[in-house]
């Protein structure tokens, strides 16, 4: 029974129904919450990175826990993370945390550095940290999971068209469209502007 309970905690399933955003908080409160993982070096680097992936990129603990070192890409001075089909360029402080986690990640079961491909190794060799355990660690940082993700998605949905939002964050396009509509984003003007720029760039 204990084994079944543990497995059940780590399972995740894609959403089949979306009832709209809930528990969204003020965007200023979201940025205030981000200051701690950005600047407080008394917090473990892995927890700081995980918190920022939720706060800035609306990544749910289940998605964060399944990231591998291959999701982090470094080219010259640019560090990117691939959360979906489109790699995201990480800003300086977040990029440093990502590189630190890649080079010095440690398993909870051992004290030495691990060769595990998981960006956030779990307590069992060869396995990532569970989604439930990741969520608990973020809660201990004072991060309200649902409220934070709703707020991050609201903000991103006002800045990106649904197709790019879906490909960037690794969420389903129908979910991205619903978040865009909930955020009252009007991307008809965006599409018109892109079309106009394309026409201007075509040779005559």
Q: What is the DSSP letter of 91?
A: P
Task: Identify the pLDDT of residue 34.
Answer: 87
| Mean pLDDT over the full length of the chain | 79
Task: Identify the pLDDT of residue 6.
Answer: 44
pLDDT averaged over consecutive 10-residue blocks of the chain (204 residues)? Answer: 45 44 65 88 93 94 94 93 94 94 65 72 85 94 89 89 93 89 62 55 47
pLDDT digits (tens, 9 = 90+) for 124-160: 877 899 999 999 999 999 898 988 898 888 889 988 9
Cα 201 versus chain centre, distance: 35
pTM over 0.85: no
Residue 10: inside a domain, yes or no? no
Residue 3: inside a domain, yes or no? no
Residue 15: inside a domain, yes or no? no
Residue 88: inside a domain, yes or no? yes
**What CATH number does the domain containing 52 carry?**
1.10.443
- Count of domains observed in the chain: 1
Tell me the CA distances in angstroms from 197 to 86, 150, 186, 192, one per residue in order: 22, 33, 18, 9
CA distance 86 to 168: 5
**Can you give the residue range of the structural domain that contains 139?**
26-201
């Amino acid at each position: 029974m204990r084994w079944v309970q543990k497995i059940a905690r780590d399972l995740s399933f894609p959403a089949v129904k979306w009832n709209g955003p809930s528990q969204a908080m003020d965007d200023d409160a979201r940025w205030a919450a981000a200051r701690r993982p950005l600047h407080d070096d008394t917090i473990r680097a892995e927890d700081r990175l995980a918190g920022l992936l939720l706060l800035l990129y609306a990544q749910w603990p289940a998605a964060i826990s399944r990231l591998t070192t291959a999701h982090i890409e470094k080219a010259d001075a640019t560090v990117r993370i691939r959360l979906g089909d489109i790699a995201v360029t990480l800003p300086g402080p977040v990029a440093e945390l990502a590189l630190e986690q890649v080079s010095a990640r440690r398993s909870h079961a051992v004290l030495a550095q691990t060769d595990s491909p998981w960006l956030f190794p779990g307590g069992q060799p060869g396995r990532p940290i569970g989604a439930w355990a990741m969520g608990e660690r973020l809660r201990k940082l004072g991060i309200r999971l649902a409220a934070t993700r709703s707020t991050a998605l609201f903000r991103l949905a006002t800045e990106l068209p649904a197709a790019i939002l879906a490909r960037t964050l690794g969420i389903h396009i129908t979910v991205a469209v619903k978040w865009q509509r909930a955020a009252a984003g009007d991307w008809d003007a965006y599409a018109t502007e892109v079309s106009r720029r394309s026409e201007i760039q075509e040779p005559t």
